[in-house]
Structure 1
Amino acid sequence: MDTRGLEQMIGQLRATADAAASRPASAAPTDGPDFSQVLQGALKDVSQAQAQAKEMADKFSAGDSGVNLQEVMVDLEKASLSFQQMVQVRNRLVTAYQDMMNMQV
């Protein structure tokens, strides 16, 4: 799996956090990519990685001579790591949401 999409999303999250810390709350957002689009793209990347890993595992199980065990294991591990990263991003988003909901106004 290509992890550039996740790394790009994490970089954009950091840039957004830095920008939010340095500008007033009433400032208009920049013309950069929409957060939901970035998140949906990352979810699609994770889903594709899992589908590719499952396909490779199925081919190996079926006895396809073009697929070796090392490739299958690497693809499965990449899919697992990308899923774990996405879970951690989700956990951070939920924590941030809960923190915002608990703020005194």
Structure 2
Amino acid sequence: MIQAITSLQPLQTASPAAQLQQSQGTGFSEMLKQSINQVNEMQVKSDGMTAALAEGKNVQLQDVMITAEKASVAMLTAIEIRNKAVEAYQEAMRMQI
């Protein structure tokens, strides 16, 4: 029991927000960049598979359609997130201080 207590790390004095960001490893802007990059990668993959199908390469139609739908859903989700963020910003700007 004493060994377990002595092996504890000292308390951190950073703010809770800083601790949360350090524990997660990324901030909001980094998470946003990663999400946009993932949407872009999905779009590029979909375009590549569509081009491969059009060129007559060995690509299954159902795989092309699934990839295209995943890319479409990801893009629509990103657009809705952007719309909500803009709406929240506009609402905050309308507030009187």
Same fold flag (TM > 0.5) = yes
Q: Equivalent residue for 2:9? A: none
Q: Equivalent residue for 1:82? A: 74
Q: How many equivalent residue pairs? A: 78
Compare 31-40 and 91-100 and name the one that shifted more: 31-40
CA distance in 2, matches of 1:80, 1:94: 21
CA distance in 2, matches of 1:30, 1:100: 24
For the aligned residues, what is the CA RMSD? 1.3
> Percent identity, aligned pairs only?
32
Q: Equivalent residue for 1:64? A: 57
| Structure-2-length-normalised TM-score | 0.76
Equivalent position to 1:51, from 25, 41, 44: 44
Helix, strand or coil at the partner of 1:29: helix
Distance apart, 1:52 and its partner CA: 0.2
Helix, strand or coil at the partner of 2:57: coil
Distance apart, 1:28 and its partner CA: 6.5
| Structure index of larger Rg | 2
CA distance in 2, matches of 1:38, 1:103: 27
Q: Deviations over 1:28-64 (max 9, x none)?
A: 6334221111000000000000000000000010000
| Structure-1-length-normalised TM-score | 0.70
1:42 aligns with 2:30: no
Helix, strand or coil at the partner of 1:30: helix
